[in-house]
Amino acid sequence: MRDFAASEQKMRAAGLPDLAIRAFRRNFESLLAGDNGTLPKRDIDAVADVPQFEETPALRKAGEDALPHAVVIKLNGGLGTTMGMTQAKSLLPVKNGLTFLDVIALQIRALAERTRVAVPLVLMNSFRTQADSLAALAKHGQLSGALAPDFMQHKVPRLLASDLSPVSWQQEPEHEWCPPGHGDLYTALVTSGSLERMLARGLRYAFVSNSDNLGAALDLGLLGWFASSGAPFAMEVKRRAEADKKGGHLARTKNGRLALRETAQCPSAADEVANFQDTALHKFFNTNNLWIDLRALARALDENGGVLPLPFIRNEKNVDPLDATSPRVIQLETAMGAAIACFEGARAIQVPAHRFAPVKSTGDLLAIRSDAYVLSDDYRVLPAPGGPGDQLVVDLDPTYFKRVDQLDARTPHGPPSLIRARRLTVRGDYTFAKGEVCEGECRISS
């Protein structure tokens, strides 16, 4: 088939707005023109240095002044399917019996109590997470101020790899669709009317982060730095460790702008992979904590017909993830951090490692639940004093610990003590007893 008509028809029938269709058409036509969604090493340069953030009284004061014009946006579209979840990942109990959403809400409330400024909290939900998340968040009261509590991420057709037509899968029609990546943030802000309403209420500075990153609380010093910088867009980065070598890194395009290169954009050749994973060359890791000047975003969208020119990412998989014989499909996605290349004068700032504490696996979850991390008075999740910090690695046997229910069943008395551990490796079916302590390099085999 190899034309956009069938995809457009499918999207219109599903009630998707014109702008979302236009954004998907842009990616589709790039794919059709031969763009394979990669960013080879010849097209970028390494970033030699990024300034470290250092809070000063002046920056904190600037943050306090900017706070009435700030909004916090949390990406909340994930289901946590890699950990066996079937509802919003943010509803998972993560620390002291509190869920991700509980912690986020309590951070917002603590900030308001401390500063006397009620910064709005807004979620970007998916059609799979909206109902449960809003119901759970309601118990914390109205945290979005005069704004709606959320806006919806769009969905796009999955394309048959054979001819780029939208796949039809009657066995499970939901498999015909996929999220377009968190780069859809910008389109969804427009189609939902959220961007217009934020600007109308005098909001200018958006802090955006993933709901599963509990280190990403709004920080007054960083807000002050961003507001004072005059930058239209900024990305928080950290030094890239060995554990981060497969994650997205900061780069610079040949026109001198900062850019983000994700794993899926790395060509498969061995020398390309080695270049991508060279942490001494590509030193800075994208935390996906972003600061956006909403006025600058509105201008950039106007200049680009409502669709930011983000590079697309091509992901190929089976339409039914549990059936290796099912047709191969292509998912076209974009990353919100890639917008750094869309703004002249965009900045990056190197932040402390504790601002990146995501939970992507049950190993991460066990570490956060343990005494290696603490919940501060203002509900930030921080490495425990004297503990291993972000150097802690928890490697659990995927046969027995991949899903959250498996982890819970094998930690009936809670997690072991990990405050003096550097690494915990578990192989086999093992259940932790009450009061177990792991120190140094700890390996358990059943």
Which residue reads 């500075």 in tokens? 205
195 to 157, 268, 296: CA distances (angstroms): 25, 38, 11
| Residue 156 CB coordination number (10 Å) | 26
Mean pLDDT for the stretch of residues 171-193? 95
Interval 180-206 mean pLDDT: 97
pLDDT at 2: 76
CB 340 within 8 A of CB 320: no
Q: Map out the domains of the chain with their CATH numbers.
A: 5-355 (3.90.550.10), 362-445 (2.160.10.10)
Q: Confidence class of residue 157 from pLDDT cuts 50, 70 and 90?
A: very high
CA-closest candidate to residue 129, choices 82, 92, 173: 92
Question: What φ, ψ does residue 288 adopt, rounded to 5°?
Answer: 65, 20
Contact 176, 157 (CB under 8 A): yes
Determine the angle formed by the axes of helices 100-115 and 130-137, rounding to 10 degrees: 40
For the chain, the average pLDDT equals: 95
Examine the pLDDT at 110 and tell me if it is beyond 90: yes
Q: What are 389-443's pLDDT values in tens digits?
A: 888 999 999 999 999 999 999 999 999 999 999 999 999 999 999 999 999 999 9
Encode pLDDT of 325-376 as tens digits. 999 999 999 999 999 999 999 999 999 989 998 899 999 999 999 999 999 9
